[in-house]
Every structure is written in C-alpha cells, then in structure tokens.
Structure 1
Amino acid sequence: MKISKYGECIYRGNKNMGARLRVFLTSEQDRTLLNLKTADVPQKVKDRAEVIRLNAHGWYVEKIAAHVNWNSQTVREVLHSWEKYGLEGLWELPGRGGKSKWKQEDIAFLEETLKKEPRTYNSVQLAQKLESERSVKLSPDRLRRVLKKRGSFGNEQGRVIKTSKIESSNKSSKQT
C-alpha cells in the first residue's frame, strides 16, 4: 500500500485484470472535487475531477473509461496524476500549444489608433501598421479574428453607424 499526502492508493494484482487502481479521498477532498463541477474552470479539469470521484466511489477504471468515453489508459493517467500532484494535477501544464505572436499592448495600440485617427482601416492596413510600428507580424485574417474576439473591430464611428442602422430598421419594422 502506498500513501500520499493527497489520498491513499492501493494496487492489488488480479488474475483476470491488470493491477487494481483505487483512490481514497477525504471528505474535504471529495467536496472540493464536487465543487469543481460548478466552478469556472476548464471542462477538462471538471472531467478529471469526476473521474477521480468515480474511482473513489468504487468504480473500476474500465467502467469509468466507458462512462466518460475515454481510453482506460487516460483514466489511469488522471488517477496517477492525482496521486502524484493532488489538485494541481488536474490542470494542464503551462507551455502547451502555440505561443501568441502579439501581446495585449499591441491590440490596445491598434484600438487607440482606431479611436484617434478619423480614417477607416481594413485588416490588411492594420496588419501593416502593426508590423511597421510594433514589429509584430500577424496575418490580416488572424488580426481580424483577434479583434473580433475582443469586440473591438471597426472604428468608433463605424460602430455607431452600424448600431444606428440596426436600431432604425428595428424601429421601422415595429411601426408597420
């Protein structure tokens, strides 16, 4: 039997199956994992917490894997990660995925440019401006997606005009 500071794990051999992996949780740990269901955390973290709780409630690895539609090896990795790192093992390690070529300050610069200058820019022009003044190379398409996600596309006048057109069309349809 191996005991960690986060919970107790037991490994027992069985003729028909591999080693039995079982996690035991304190009531506080169980409550913490249950609270993650409704917390503002990534879905992966919620799924991993559920896997740990199901195992602690007596479910076998294969049954959990079928229930959450995962490979049984993935379930084992989650349980081993819980044993080794505890609650921290539920989150992704930093450094996964591609790194951003831009910083928040770069997008704030573009937003300020759009507010200050009276002219209208398209995404190609904004990408060129960003490259020439901030040495940040983004494709116009990527820049458009970043700005759209932030809700800061177009200049202020364009937003006002767009809003006015929508409001006026709604008003006219309500009057008829």
Structure 2
Amino acid sequence: MGARLRIFLTREQDRTLLKLRTADVPQKVKDRAEIIRLNAHGWYVEKIAAHFNLTLQTVREVLHKWKSKGLEGLWELPGRGGKSKWGEEDIVFLEECLKKEPRTYNSLQLTQKLERDRNVKLSPDRLRRVLKKRGLIGSEQGRVTKGSKTQSHEQTSKQT
C-alpha cells in the first residue's frame, strides 16, 4: 500500500476554496474544491470518494492536480468535445440571403449555397437543426398556422 495522499492548506487557500462553494462556478469546480478541503481536514481518499459517489482514482486525480497546478487545476481545460464546422457569421450570412432574396430555399439548397459561397460543409439535417435552434424555421406565425387544420378546427368550435 502506498503513502497516504494528503493536502495541507494555508488559511488563505482554505478561505478561497470555501468561497468557491457560493461563487458562480460550475458544480464540478465546487465539488473539487470541497474534495481538497475535506482531504486537508483529515478525510481519507476512500471516505471522500464514498461521500461524493466517485471512484478513488477521480479523487486522487483532483488532489494531484491541486498539488501540481493549484487553483487552476479545479477547472476543465478548454477544447473538450467536437468543434463546430460552422461559425456565427455563416448563419448570419444565410439569414441575410433569406431576407434579401425573394425565393425560398430548402435545407439541401441552403447547404449547397453555404458550401459554394462560404466553403462550409454541413449536412442538410444538421443545418436544419442549427436553424431550428436559432428559431429561424417556422418562426413566422402567420405562414406556419395559416393552413393548419387545428387552427380552423379551433375557430369553428369557438363559433358554435
């Protein structure tokens, strides 16, 4: 069995970690700060892992990061996850095209236009999801519900 992993904190470090509990930071950062404080107050890695429902290795990693990086070790590194192939300016470009040009586009035509003009390759399905998330699909209330059967049914039921 290896040596016990133990952190020693100054009063200032302990106060800083305690303040993180109420700060506007991600929950993971708050948990990591509390893990370090509990270890400094004499809790064993096994007890901390059971308290937070984590693996022993995760608790050890938090403690090692604190030793090597200090306060910076509490936050996630940037660059995790896949990078988007499109930028905000690409979607603004499409919005301007839709406003200026009198014709209508389907998602396949929009992806072809985006690839041709901006050299951005997106699938029609992905572009549809991006536009829907921004509220561009079906945002014009009159056009969307004009021919809706439910609307005409509601109007006839209100009239009777």
Q: TM-score range by the shorter chain?
A: 0.7 to 0.9
Aligned length, in residue pairs: 154
Q: 1:53, 1:114 → 2: CA distance?
A: 55
Report the residue type matching 1:90 in the other structure. Answer: L
1:25 and 1:143, CA in 2 relative to 1: closer, same or farther beyond 3 A? Answer: farther
Query: Identity of counterpart residues, as a percentage?
Result: 77
Q: 2:76, 2:64 → 1: CA distance?
A: 15
Report the residue type matching 1:153 in the other structure. Answer: L
Structure 2 match to 1:57: 41
Q: Kindly provide the CA deviation profile for residues 13-60 of structure 1, in whole angstroms up to 9, marking residues without a partner as x.
A: xxxx53211212233323333333344433332332222122223211
TM superposition score normalised by structure 1: 0.69
Report the residue type matching 2:44 in the other structure. Answer: Y
Structural mapping, 1:1-176, within 5 Å:
17-149=1-133, 151-154=134-137, 158-161=138-141
Q: 1:87, 1:102 → 2: CA distance?
A: 34
The SS at the match of 2:17 is helix
Q: Kindly provide the CA deviation profile for residues 148-171 of structure 1, in whole angstroms up to 9, marking residues without a partner as x.
A: 34x2422xxx42326995xxx7xx
**Residues 101 and 138 in structure 1, CA contact (< 8 A), matched pair in contact too:** yes
TM superposition score normalised by structure 2: 0.75
Q: 2:11, 2:29 → 1: CA distance?
A: 19
Structure 1 match to 2:148: none
The SS at the match of 2:129 is helix
Q: 1:30, 1:86 → 2: CA distance?
A: 12
The SS at the match of 2:139 is helix
Q: Which runs of 5+ in 1 are unaligned?
A: 1-16
1:101 and 1:24, CA in 2 relative to 1: closer, same or farther beyond 3 A? Answer: same
1:92 and 1:135, CA in 2 relative to 1: closer, same or farther beyond 3 A? Answer: same
Q: Kindly provide the CA deviation profile for residues 75-101 of structure 1, in whole angstroms up to 9, marking residues without a partner as x.
A: 111111011111111122233322221
Q: 1:59, 1:76 → 2: CA distance?
A: 13
Normalized per residue, the structure richer in strand is: 1
RMSD of Structure 2 on Structure 1 (CA):
3.2
Q: Which runs of 5+ in 2 are unaligned?
A: 146-150
Q: CA deviation at 1:112?
A: 2.2
**Residues 33 and 50 in structure 1, CA contact (< 8 A), matched pair in contact too:** yes
- Which of 105-114 and 72-81 deviates more? 105-114
